[in-house]
Amino acid sequence: MRSQLDCHDPRLPGTGVFDLKTRAALPVRMDIMNYKQHSTYLIRALQGRLESFEREYHDLMRSAFLKYSFQARIGNMDGILVAHHNTARIFGFRYIPLTEMDACLFGGEDRGEAVFEKCVLLLEEILMDAIGTFPDQVRFKRRTVAPFLLTLYKKTIRCLFETRGDELDVFVEPEDHEESKGPRPIVHIVVQSTSYIDGNHTDSESAVAKPGACT
C-alpha cells in the first residue's frame, strides 16, 4: 500500500504530514455533467439542509471520511485540509485531524486504528483468496520488504464488492477471457464476520466502542 504525501507543517503533531482535498459542493457532485450551471451554487450559511457548511460536512462524514481516514493512516498523516468549492469559487478551508474523523465515524477518537487494522487484515485475506481462484491468471512474487505486497504481472482479475446485511459478497472474474471458451468464469465469495467481547458474541458497534476490545 502507498499513500501520496501532499503537505507538511512542523506545527502539527506526529509526522506533521497532511493531505490536501478539494471538495466540490453538493450539486456539482450530484449532477456532474451539469457542473457549469452549478458553478454558481453558493454556500451561504454555517447550518442548514442546503447551501450550508453543515450539509457539506454531513456528506463528508457519510461518504468520504472512511476513505480519507484510511488514506491518512496509510500515509501516517495527521489529517486533511479540505477546500470547499463550486469549481468557480473557493468557499473556505477546513482542517480535519484524523482524531476528528475517527470520532465522527466510530464515536471516539481512539477507535479508528483498530478498525483500520482489522479491515486491512480482512482485505488481505480476501485478496489472497481471490488471487487463488484463478491461479493461471495472476503471477506474483513476494517481496522481502513487505510480506503481503504483491507485484502483479500482465494478467488481471476484477473484483466487485457488495455488502448486503451481515455478509460481504465478492465476485471475482478474470479480466482477459476468450469468448470462444464459453462464458466468463465467475467465483462468488461470501465473507461473514462476527465480533466478540470477552468470548461473548456481540455486535460490531459494541466491539468497536469497547476500549481495547479489538486489539
Partner 1 sequence: MYVRHSPVRFHLADDVLVLVGDLRWSITHTSLSQEEKEYKLSKARERQWRAYSLPPGVSVEEMEEIWNQLDFGGKQRRLEELPETYSGDSGPGSPSTPPSSVEEKESTFDPSFFAPPSKNVELLRELSTKGKADMVLMSEMAKGRPKLIWGEPEAYIDQVESDGMPTETEVVEALGNRYEEATPVD
Residues written for the chain = 215
The residue behind cell 478539494 is 22
206 binds partner 1 (CB under 8 A): no
x/- map, 73-92, partner 1, by CB under 8 A: --xx------------x---
**d(Cα 78, Cα 72) in Å, to the nearest integer?**
7
Using CB under 8 A, pick the residue from 20, 22, 37, 176 that binds partner 1.
37
Phi and psi at residue 125, to the nearest 5°: -60, -45
DSSP one-letter code for 109:
T
16 binds partner 1 (CB under 8 A): yes
CA distances from 133 to 38, 71, 161, 189 (A): 46, 28, 16, 10
Given a contact cutoff of 8 angstroms between Cβ atoms, the answer to whether 195 and 201 are in contact is yes
193 binds partner 1 (CB under 8 A): yes
CB of 48 to partner 1, least distance (A): 11
CB of 145 to partner 1, least distance (A): 5
Q: Which of residues 123-152 bind partner 1 (CB under 8 A)?
A: 125-126, 129, 133, 143, 145-146, 149-151
Angle at 21 between CA 40 and CA 111, to 5 degrees: 125
Q: Which residues are near partner 1 by CB under 8 A?
A: 1-3, 5, 8-11, 15-17, 26-27, 30-34, 37-42, 50-51, 75-76, 89, 118, 121-122, 125-126, 129, 133, 143, 145-146, 149-151, 153, 160, 162, 169, 171, 173, 183, 185-197, 207, 213-215
